[in-house]
Structure 1
């Protein structure tokens, strides 16, 4: 309807004569595109680039063009439609099969969309102190899982064990953070944090940062 009806009414309103049904359809689609492009600029300027805004725009274009076309006394006649072709049984069967396949594909897509769950994950970070203080690092966990999870965090400093946090409970959508004091030296140190799942002791995430030097 969007690609045909507005263009058809615009053609009737401005009195463009077409010689065949195919030519009329092509002109109608082109005029609909032109109305859509003009509507994009108008709706963008008005801040109404929304489904409702588009519906109102095409309704207004179609209604205004229909009124103008009805008021014209020299509106050209529509081109004659070609005689309908004979439809054979196998063509009807092929059409019905195509409809069934398309309907089935759409139903599967709707079902998959309803059952789809966005990939969930755990965000894990290790950063220098946000306040800029030397010798302090911040470790954090943010859960986007669907169920509460427990994690272990192990922190090393230049390859040596430094801090351990066990059985950290992180509910869905929550964030756990700790700011840790590190003995800052005159040279940069590398701090590394590893995130484990206690139920299988598997490494889940690994991050690192440089400890600001004095």
Structure 2
């Protein structure tokens, strides 16, 4: 809990949190409810299953409490483990060992088990890396609106990037189908915005302004928006 509260180190949180998440909490729960196992492998399977069950229950509880954060998870597993340990201390017989005796594995089985652990750890590390870099949505916002103050003769054109890398755009504005303004090679980085106020002539008749956004890389129309120009 202290490591999560005072540090943002992913390595430290993983080293301290993984045993609590996958083993320690489940072991404490098994001891508390009095589950007896005959081998360390059986105990490990039960402990991992109980730890995952505690984690699932914690997800529901923390979500309902609005505390679904790293600190919330640390508090949850600490509470579950401490409470289960207190119950286990009260009910354990003095001659009951804390862990079943470790079996002796043949060299081949030990090597296979070690390889399986390494493969699982590597797969998990790759999954974490992919999740950190994956973005489900990547897009560019594009809009054209009359002046927010209601001032006639002004249109606001804007671009906001939520892409994964910088994009270059060409912007063309037409007024009643006739070319009116052109902006070339607008480079927008992820998270950045570009906006301009475009003065247009004010007439007594209705006018339609249209803005088209192109990507020069593929010479295709990327976005298109339009609006009515306020009349006198």
Determine the C-alpha separation between the residues in 2 that align with 1:27 and 1:101: 19
Residues 75 and 12 (structure 1), Cα distance of their counterparts in 2 relative to 1, 3 Å cut: farther
- Aligned partner (choices 74, 98, 110) of residue 93 of structure 2: 74
Which runs of 5 or more residues in structure 1 are unaligned? none
Residues 138 and 158 (structure 1), Cα distance of their counterparts in 2 relative to 1, 3 Å cut: same
Measured after TM superposition, the shift of residue 23 of structure 1 is: 5.0
Match of 1:49 in 2: 68
Determine the C-alpha separation between the residues in 2 that align with 1:101 and 1:25: 16
Structure with higher helix content: 2
**Where do residues 1-214 of structure 1 align in structure 2 (5 Å cutoff)?**
1=19, 2-14=21-33, 16-21=34-39, 24-44=43-63, 46-74=65-93, 77=96, 83-88=103-108, 92=111, 99=118, 123-131=141-149, 137-142=155-160, 153-161=171-179, 163-165=180-182, 173-184=192-203, 189-194=207-212, 207-211=224-228
TM-score, with structure 1 as normaliser: 0.59
1:166-212 CA-partner distances (Å, limit 9, x unpaired): 6798786353311433445655x442234579x99x67755231425
Measured after TM superposition, the shift of residue 160 of structure 1 is: 1.7
Residues 195 and 32 (structure 1), Cα distance of their counterparts in 2 relative to 1, 3 Å cut: closer
Tell me the secondary structure at the aligned position of residue 71 of structure 1: helix
Determine the C-alpha separation between the residues in 2 that align with 1:169 and 1:25: 58
- Length, aligned pairs only: 206
Detail structure 1 runs of 4+ shifted over 6 Å in the superposition.
118-122, 143-147, 167-171
Which runs of 5 or more residues in structure 2 are unaligned? 1-18
Determine the C-alpha separation between the residues in 2 that align with 1:73 and 1:98: 32
TM-score, with structure 2 as normaliser: 0.56
Residues 120 and 186 (structure 1), Cα distance of their counterparts in 2 relative to 1, 3 Å cut: same
Determine the C-alpha separation between the residues in 2 that align with 1:97 and 1:12: 27
